[in-house]
Amino acid sequence: MRDKSLTHQGPRQDRSGAIWLIQAFSGLLLVALLLLHMVAHHFIVEGGLREFRQVVDYASHPAIFAITIIFLIVVTVHTVLGLRAILIDLRPSLAARRSIDWLLLAIGVAIIIYGIWLEFIIARL
């Protein structure tokens, strides 16, 4: 039996596989949610969402409220991971990479918190 101990060559296993899986699944979810979003906006509401009150009523519906927040989280996760992949192509140093990871995490969390806060504001109008 040959054994050249591949596991001792090159970098060890890391979390890049898990990150790729999250990006892939968030991409799939994006397609489904975007489709749902467009169908709901253009076909569920008769004549489409044309007036401010219609939009507020639509956004306040508990199911739509939940879907919008899921949509927001999925878009943010997918975008932040995509941006991270591009930044890593620039071959930053290890220290810079850690900063990039924390910065992107902070930006992502801020976007999600701000988006959820906005959703609550709109739902109360």
Partner 1 sequence: MPEATVPFKIFRYKQGQNAGHYDTFDVPIDEDTTVLVALQTIRRDQDSTLMLRHSCHHASCGTCAMLVNGREELPCVVNVLDLRSSPVVVEPLRNIPLVSDLVVDMTDFYARVNPADRPYVRHSEFLPWAQTPDGIDSYSRFENCIECGACVSACPISGTDPDYYGPAALAAAWRVVEEPRGRQPQQALNWVDNEKGCWRCHVAFECTEVCPSGVDPGGKIMALRGELSKQKLRGLFGFGRR
Q: What are the residues binding partner 1 (CB under 8 A)?
A: 1-7, 9-14, 16-21, 24, 85, 88-89, 91
Q: CB 84 → partner 1: shortest distance, Å?
A: 11
Nearest to 68 by CA among 109, 105, 120: 120
Q: CB 102 → partner 1: shortest distance, Å?
A: 17
d(CA 24, CA 20): 6
Name the residue nearer to partner 1 (CB basis): 14 or 51: 14
Name the residue nearer to partner 1 (CB basis): 27 or 115: 27
d(CA 82, CA 92): 16
d(CA 51, CA 5): 66
Name the residue nearer to partner 1 (CB basis): 20 or 114: 20
